[in-house]
Chains A and B, each alone.
Chain A
Amino acid sequence: MSETEVPYQETMGLHHPRSWITRYWFSQDHKVIAVQYGVTAIAVGLVALVLSGLMRIQIGFPGLLPFITPDIYYQAVTMHGMIMVIFLLTAFLLGAFGNFCVPLMLGARDMVFPFVNMLSYHVYLLSVVVLMASYFVPGGPTGAGWTLYPPQAILPGTPGVDWGIVTMLLSLIIFVVAFTMGGLNYLTTILQARTRGMTLMRMPLTVWGIMMATILGLFAFPALFVSAVMMLLDKLVGTSFFMPAIVSFGQPLEHSGGSPLLFQHLFWFFGHPEVYIVALPVFGVVSELISVHSRKNIFGYRMMVWALIAIGALSFVVWAHHMYVAGMHPYFGFFFATTTLIIAVPTAIKVYNWVLTLWKANIKLTIPMLFALAFILTFVVGGLSGLFLGNVIIDVPLSDTYFVVAHFHMVMGVAPILVIFGGIYHWYPKLTGRLLNNTLGHLHFWVTFLGTYAIYYPMHYLGFMGVPRRYYAMGVGSDFYPESAATLNEFITIAALVVGLMQFVFVYNLIASYFRGKPAGSNPWDATTLEWQTPKTPPNHGNWGDTLPVVHRWAYDYSVPGEEQDFVPQNVERKP
């Protein structure tokens, strides 16, 4: 958008709320929808947190809680994984951060389709309700593992095979519908509703990350959608998309001719881009946090943008690295190992540029900055352990062991969540007008960072011993599970429980600071991007006054030589 063109949203009408219910429940204000997404995602995330606690207790102290049977355990494994990946990470990063940041950072009044935006949240809520209903149907939720691999997912021998798997697949189908409505909205808004002067190369990296993630999602989620529909047909109608001829517990089944590998290809054609649907917004947000709080422009902005695009494109040609030992043609190994390791190059560049942004900066160790620093270390460990697994031959001994569990928790569990925390501490003042409590913030940060690092860093080494994942019990006296490994698992469980409890302190901080937090002012971090330049804090419906802000510069004018302050907002005119 050039600096003279009249933006579409300058003249658009807003759907102003007439009652409490249209203001807070069926609101079309992107900020309210962001909060709805955020609160729902955190609520469902707490369920996943409790489930992970149950799992860890069984792994660290087998038999301590007798009600954790194998079925309960595997149901917890499955629900924890699916909730975290889809219903927390994806929903929070795009639904909450995406909704909140995109219009504000672009100088727009709202999303271009506010009604669809509202609908998107409510369809997401429905998908969460259907998912949670799994715990109330006969047989409970599916225990098929979050990857839901057939034939096991729809055959006896797996918990939740009658109802749970159906509610799971339905929930995913509904989620994809919600995501598509949200995604089209974010993408159209970014392409069409930027204010005067906000060219693509002036956009904050947060918006770039969200845009690339949305594009990835619009291409990847259909693969999940069709695989869910096909599996539902296999389960309910008796088709054989994924089902070969099978003898299940002595009974020959009616199925024949289907391919379990077909499901794996479809699932990971979605599943791998999904990793980047989570990672790219995180890359964007953390770039923002590092730049703002180190009072320095992000290093290599253009390279950062191109790296996002390159990673997004490459993420569609690496999926089968999840299937090196799945029995596919061995020549695939050469191709997918190569593409997978190539993707390390743009990813490494991003890491270098974050660290180089800190070089000769003026670093404020605020809570968001601490989370960003923790993210870098965590992401480096998780990224590097990905180079082990991506290199096909090394994956042979390590796949399906605790090395994998440690790797993906580090890289796409803990790392994104550290950034989500950082982002919440960063934008909470704009959302509520109040700062989060700093002391509780420090407590939350140090326990979470050091705790998760202590959980997952040593866990990689259990994988080298061959300790397999998804084992309800390891057994006594096994070669691969000496006494010392059991001791390590006890330690990890204790660390996990401490970290888990600390999250409730964070939730308390979110609620208490809303009422008692220190007033923040409109721009507590001295940041340059547009969301900090709104006439009111919290911004009212429509965000801006009578006219939209005009953008004159890129998003990272920090410590510009010759300027009086160490930041120059994007809407400040350049000196002649």
Chain B
Amino acid sequence: MWVAAALLVVVVGSVAFNFLTPWWFGEVASNWGSIDDTVLLTFWVCGVVFILVGLLLVFSVYKYRFRQGARAQYEPENTRLELWLTVGTTLGVVAMLGPGLFVWDEFIRVPADATEMEVFGEQWRWRYRLPGTDGKLGTTDIGNISTRNPFGLNDDDPNGLDDVLIQSAEIHIPVNVPVKALLRSKDVLHDFFVPQFRAKMDLVPGMVTYFWFTPTKLGEFEILCAEYCGSSHYLMRGVVHVDRPKEYELWLQSQPTYAEMIAGSRPSSRDITTGRNVAETNGCLACHSLDGSQVVGPTWQGLWGRSERLVDGSVVTVDEAYVRESIINPSVKIVDGFAPVMLSYDLPESDIQALLAFVRSTEGGVAGTDRIPECKDC
């Protein structure tokens, strides 16, 4: 008796939970509201089956509980009933599968006017590349990747020069314009997922995958990596800003193209020399070696563009922002394995620029020797 009651509570409770739950899809922010509709349809079909099976079970347990001397019915088969159940189930399956495949067909047909956006993943950060004024993404090769060329663009492909490179994990897209996201990874599997857009797809090294969506709601949405990619998988996040067209254009214009990046990535020898002087005057080199040996702080040799693991487990790529922060406020991001002993340096902007140029020049080789021309006048 109370077994049947307990089972009834489970069945009724499950149905009630479904209607009362505070945990549900966030408001959809893309054209894929049709996916939500398919989910609701599936809920109705499955819900009816759940309620019928559950109640029949509860009723049987109550009504046909053991009585001494009673006999069960002896009915090995009932072909008619079994046939009807098979037909009914098949119809239910068709009712769910039909609309599902219809939406899937939409999902895999990218509209011709979709703008392309490359999402580039690595352990454990996002970067993005936009096609630039020619509307075409340049070709890439994983073998080209270097600190100078983080996306591995082919230098001899003119389509690549105007590609806009977004080195931060935040990306902007204009509202109501269909986007074809081209997904590329340089190391392991990742997955580009924005819950409010409903869509996701894996990034697979060695191939380019894609999916499309049209953002329909202004705002900021969190990007999650949804395919396990190692220890800091859970920290691999980003932000997508869905902007009005004007705001988007403003943002876009402030982003560097590949051509600008290569031009800007070779600091002048004059800056480097000044930077070396700044480093020596301020005693930087007492703790940061130039030959790869680890002293009190991380070596500067090959520092620029390197991925550093911090004490909190996250990973940063050494770029201008990071080095600048580490000079002005060194205790914020401490590289794993080092003690937080560095003082903050309040240097004039010109000195910081020069130091940045010097640190940047240390990529590969012994810092400051293979790139700086002989200094004749010092």
Contact = CB atoms under 8 A, between A and B. Distances in A.
Interface string A301-312: 111000000000
Interface stretch (B195-203, B243-251, B269-277): B195-203
Given A377-B57, A457-B17, A556-B76, A466 B26 contact: yes
B3 to A, nearest CB: 5
Interface string A519-541: 00000000000000000000000
A345 interface: yes
B204 A327 contact: yes
A63 interface: no
A480 B224 contact: yes
A473 interface: yes
A205 B155 CA distance: 67
B101 interface: yes
Contacts of A397: 25, 32, 35, 39, 195, 198-200
Contacts of B45: 387
A257 B72 CA distance: 65
A70 interface: yes
A384 B226 contact: no
A351 interface: yes
B123 interface: yes
Query: Which interface residue of A361, A370, A556 has the most chain B CB atoms within 10 A?
Result: A361
Contacts of A464: 23-25, 39
B100 A393 contact: yes
A427 interface: no
Contacts of A348: 49, 85, 89
A441 B60 CA distance: 23
A376 to B, nearest CB: 6
A517 interface: no
Given A295-B72, A325-B191, A359 B230 contact: no
Contact of B11 (A377, A401, A468): A377
A391 B237 CA distance: 28
Interface string B173-203: 0000000000100111101010110111111
Interface string B298-322: 0000000111000001000000000
Contact of A466 (B42, B105, B193, B206): B193
B65 A355 contact: no
Contacts of B306: 250
Given A152-B230, A373-B7, A465 B53 contact: no
Contacts of B101: 333-334, 337-338, 392-393
A363 B75 contact: no
A465 B23 contact: yes
B90 to A, nearest CB: 6
A349 B85 CA distance: 7
Contacts of B152: 247
B180 to A, nearest CB: 13
A401 B82 CA distance: 36
Interface residues of B, number: 102
Interface in B105-135: 105, 107-108, 122-124
Interface in B14-32: 14, 17, 21-26, 32
B65 A363 contact: yes
B54 interface: yes
A472 B204 CA distance: 22
A258 B206 contact: yes
A396 B107 contact: yes
Interface residues of A, number: 112
Contacts of B53: 351-352, 355, 376, 380
Contact of B74 (A353, A393, A394, A561): A561
A362 interface: yes
Nearest to B226: A400
Interface in A427-467: 446, 450, 453, 457-458, 461-462, 464-466
A53 B57 CA distance: 32
B289 interface: no
A408 interface: no
Query: Which interface residue of A351, A471, A475 has the most chain B CB atoms within 10 A?
Result: A471
Given A303-B77, A326-B202, A359-B64, A388 B42 contact: yes
A567 to B, nearest CB: 10
B97 to A, nearest CB: 5
Nearest to B123: A157
Query: Which interface residue of B124, B231, B232 has the most chain A CB atoms within 10 A?
Result: B231
B56 interface: yes
Given A152-B229, A391-B42, A468-B193, A330 B108 contact: yes
Contact of A245 (B32, B46, B142, B237): B142
Contacts of B228: 74, 144-145, 149, 152, 470
A358 B201 contact: no
B145 to A, nearest CB: 5
A338 B66 CA distance: 42
A91 to B, nearest CB: 26
Nearest to A461: B23
Interface in A120-150: 143-145, 149
Nearest to B67: A362
Given A260-B206, A330-B108, A358-B57, A466 B195 contact: yes
A305 to B, nearest CB: 12
B35 A381 contact: no
A300 B77 CA distance: 5
B136 interface: no
A342 B306 CA distance: 51
B310 to A, nearest CB: 13
A391 B11 CA distance: 24
B76 A484 contact: no
Contacts of A151: 187-189, 205
Contacts of A70: 231-232, 234, 313
B66 A480 contact: no
Interface of A: 69-71, 74, 143-145, 149, 151-152, 155, 157-159, 244-250, 252, 257-261, 294-297, 299-303, 325-327, 330-331, 333-334, 337-338, 341-342, 344-345, 348-349, 351-353, 355-356, 358-365, 370, 373, 376-377, 380-381, 384-385, 387-388, 391-394, 396-397, 399-401, 446, 450, 453, 457-458, 461-462, 464-466, 468, 470-475, 478-480, 484-485, 488, 556, 558-561, 566
Given A365-B66, A377-B57, 13 more contacts: A149-B228, A258-B206, A297-B76, A327-B207, A341-B97, A363-B64, A380-B50, A387-B45, A387-B93, A391-B42, A394-B38, A479-B222, A484-B23
12 contacts: A143-B231, A245-B142, A252-B143, A260-B205, A295-B66, A337-B97, A345-B93, A358-B57, A358-B64, A364-B66, A387-B46, A397-B35
Report, nearest first, the 5 A-B pairs whose CB atoms are least far apart. Answer: A244-B206, A466-B195, A327-B209, A157-B230, A296-B72
